[in-house]
Structure 1
């Protein structure tokens, strides 16, 4: 099952998700949209930016609910203390649900940092792999940099291994701000802060009714700063001139595209989120990065007062990366063919505006060939197509359409050309008079109803002549039928009156009543 899911019912094809997807892993085709798992790096940008909430991610609340009431272990990400106003009460909430141990993932980060330091000293230039999006970006799109990734498990996976080694094979639940963590494996259930909040609300639990409890040791010394900018470097303690920080997928892409390891050792702290994990996709957004950072610092100060527990971690943390990039061989002639089909035969028509979601018209053409996009996603293509269709509708209209500018006729459609084969010098004033007086206009043997509007862009008047000749003929025919019917009935009335006069003595007053009735009938018919 894909991690990032699409709700086609709510999708309005605005392409905002595609425009913001850094690797263009979203397909729009045949009226359907879906995320292409083989290209997706699970950054969840599409989930965050979709105005219709048509993108979401796989939730694991039910899996967590099944664990409740039984013993399980919890690993809480360092950003846990930035998300919750009263994080130590949430620790108590987790304990009440069956958590045997609630421990900081920062302990795993501390172990990982020691490995980073060792690899950096041995190998030179190294890219951190604590962020799963960084790894997926390299594996699926930039395999050339894989040899420079730190081949160490992430802090979450490391901590899960540590917990299971220390406390047995109990299920491990990780709680953090990252959607991509769900694809890393090893951990039994991965919940985002959003999911834990939803669970607490569904269960109608009130955290304020719980006492505060601190996470269990052993404790890390420096790794609690992992989720903020430069937090990894702070933990590893590299020299200032030997490290750089790269945050945001766009910046990572630029780094990977131009990556050329120098002879000098560079420790690269890489993160998909600007500002670090405290700005992850599933963490609260109502607090500033400064406020979240200060909460992390406050927690670190409070925990530093506790006696630090010593721990030994003999774990196998080696990690293997695999190139997963899908290569496509596409003929240049076919690309040109699609560009021509989109009305971009001329280089000047290739605006590369990015409205469709792709950075260039050429990228869009390739996506069309691969079945990921539709030609109609191009705004300029649609406008040109609409103009052509509109012109055809106007040209083939059964109504006469005449455009007038500065007192001269500048356009006539086919119907108008057939109508005005003879010279009609007085036509323009007659058109205006007919429209403003609301009277039909007769040209030769035809009668027209005139409509009028103005084209501001062209500064021209447009007259639409609707042929009502047949309707007028039908009205005249109906009038003749009515008149003939009245005549026939009058003849019948006269004949009846003669009969009545002959038998007047027999009918008496009935005759007068019949005459009145026929008179009224005649009046009614005439009206």
Structure 2
């Protein structure tokens, strides 16, 4: 799992992180950015440029709190850039760390001082073609992953963090806990390097420490502690560009030309120059962050920006009475038993190179059939269309990550829909003046090819409801309206779009349907009349039949009664 994590819900497809990544170690899948851990150099650029705060750095604070709660001996190696990260002096920071429960605090500058001594030894030996400083762990990752042919020109020396951790353990015991506190993300990867022998137990960033101070209410206190024993050495100038070079004695630099380079892009430019050219006898101080460690991705910046941060550090480096070269501490003296050698490994990945046919096929899929269509605008996060196509081939990018293509496609689809819909469509401004209209509107209202833009809708359509909708808040949907001057019966929707100060009018011509409906109504009315007449006639016939049946029945009854009496009379006589 990468040290930097993306918050899935926050990613807004702006591709800014891809654009800022110097090594293209960010993939975009399922509309979500993700770090490619094996390719990442942990420079932190993506963290600092994200406008949605969609990225976070894994925190070790809870781990450190557990160390302290268990009453373990927890020692701090404090990066010298702390003086520029907090609006307090070293005595207050020392006090605050003590209040958090740390056993002992020292400056990483103690380790940096001895790393510089190792560089002096390399300069004196003059065995290396060039010497690239190995203090910045992001630069180490950059060279190991992307410039492995230059591994033999990396100074084979551990970083100040590891050097100081080894010195602390040698002085105070191997069982202590060592926590590095600094502005760097890549230190979180470095302390997990098995080659470093588990010298560091946790890495806390200045951002994390700031939140911790805030939680404990320490900013409300002005207490300090005097007598910072074994705090640090004059190598506290390390964080500024050229700071490492300033800690090396001039007499050792005569065999090599010295140069300081900061910022990933400039470092990559120099490294590429070394690969391509016959460059030698350079001592090159490299820092992936612009402004050195003072520009670290997890640097808690105080008001005043880089200039103030630099001034604070330089003033701190000039101060005496804390620790100087003439009074080396017990920690520094422990160096005699500490091995500061370092070996670097080739971590590069050999990616397949897509053929020209494959690249062109990917470009064709988004409408780039010719060179003039390759705009190389960088909106997708890549420097060129072909670079992005290569990223698609490697599964890092999605083919639709092309703003000009998607915009052109969206406009094309919307234009097709608007121009070919049978409905008349008008777009009106806040003054009910026509901004746009489609072909159906021109045909429906016999406008021909006249330019109606800027004309009032009332000049074409006499309807009071436009004003009512504009002044009110309710839109009107599918309301029947008759435009007598055009001989039209329509269903009309008047939609107010507040956020754009626009009124959209959509008109459906239902004149033919209405005429057909009237015919059907007339036909039904006629049928009802016929049915009514038939029913009345049937009732008359029924009544006549009933009347005739009634008379006949009565006569029959009389006759039968007479017959019955006659028969009964004859039987009586017998």
TM-score by length of 1: 0.79
Aligned twin of 2:511: 469
Deviations along 1:134-154, whole A, 9 cap, x unmatched? 011111222222221111110
> Which runs of structure 1 show a deviation greater than 4 angstroms over 4 or more consecutive aligned residues?
238-241, 260-264, 304-307, 410-413, 424-429, 438-452, 462-465, 477-488
Kept in 2, the 8 Å contact 1:73–1:102? The answer is yes
Aligned twin of 2:460: 435
Deviations along 1:452-492, whole A, 9 cap, x unmatched? 9xxxxxxxxx997622136524864797699899999x99x
Kept in 2, the 8 Å contact 1:219–1:308? The answer is no
C-alpha spacing 1:299/1:401, structure 2 compared with 1 (3 Å) = closer
1:308 aligns with 2:327: yes
In terms of mean alpha carbon deviation, does 277-286 or 102-111 score higher? 277-286
Of 257, 273, 277, 1:258 maps to 273
1:375 aligns with 2:394: no
Aligned twin of 1:511: none
C-alpha spacing 1:179/1:463, structure 2 compared with 1 (3 Å) = closer
Kept in 2, the 8 Å contact 1:375–1:381? The answer is no
C-alpha spacing 1:258/1:475, structure 2 compared with 1 (3 Å) = same
Q: CA deviation at 1:64?
A: 1.4
Segments of 5+ residues of structure 2 without an aligned counterpart are: 192-198, 427-436, 452-456, 464-480, 495-503, 534-574
SS at match of 2:208: helix
Q: 1:131-170 to 2 correspondence within 5 Å?
A: 131-168=136-173, 169-170=175-176
Aligned twin of 1:184: 190
Q: CA deviation at 1:381?
A: 1.0
1:317 aligns with 2:310: no
Aligned twin of 1:326: 349
Count of residues in Structure 1 that have an aligned counterpart in Structure 2 = 468
Higher Rg: 2
C-alpha spacing 1:37/1:426, structure 2 compared with 1 (3 Å) = closer
CA distance in 1, matches of 2:506, 2:391: 44
C-alpha spacing 1:97/1:195, structure 2 compared with 1 (3 Å) = same
C-alpha spacing 1:436/1:82, structure 2 compared with 1 (3 Å) = same
SS at match of 2:400: helix
Q: CA deviation at 1:412?
A: 5.2
Q: 1:55-454 to 2 correspondence within 5 Å?
A: 55-69=55-69, 70=71, 71-84=73-86, 85-121=88-124, 122=126, 123-168=128-173, 169-185=175-191, 186-206=199-219, 208-217=221-230, 219-220=232-233, 222-238=234-250, 239=253, 242-260=257-275, 262=278, 264-285=280-301, 286-304=303-321, 306=323, 308-309=327-328, 311-313=333-335, 314-329=337-352, 330-394=354-418, 396-399=420-423, 435-438=460-463, 440=482, 447=489
Aligned twin of 1:518: none
CA distance in 2, matches of 1:81, 1:328: 43
Segments of 5+ residues of structure 1 without an aligned counterpart are: 403-409, 453-461, 492-527
What value does the CA root-mean-square deviation take over the aligned residues?
3.8
C-alpha spacing 1:193/1:428, structure 2 compared with 1 (3 Å) = closer
SS at match of 2:461: helix
CA distance in 2, matches of 1:245, 1:450: 71
SS at match of 1:357: coil
Aligned twin of 1:500: none
C-alpha spacing 1:477/1:411, structure 2 compared with 1 (3 Å) = closer
Q: CA deviation at 1:353?
A: 1.1
CA distance in 2, matches of 1:345, 1:104: 59
CA distance in 2, matches of 1:62, 1:305: 31
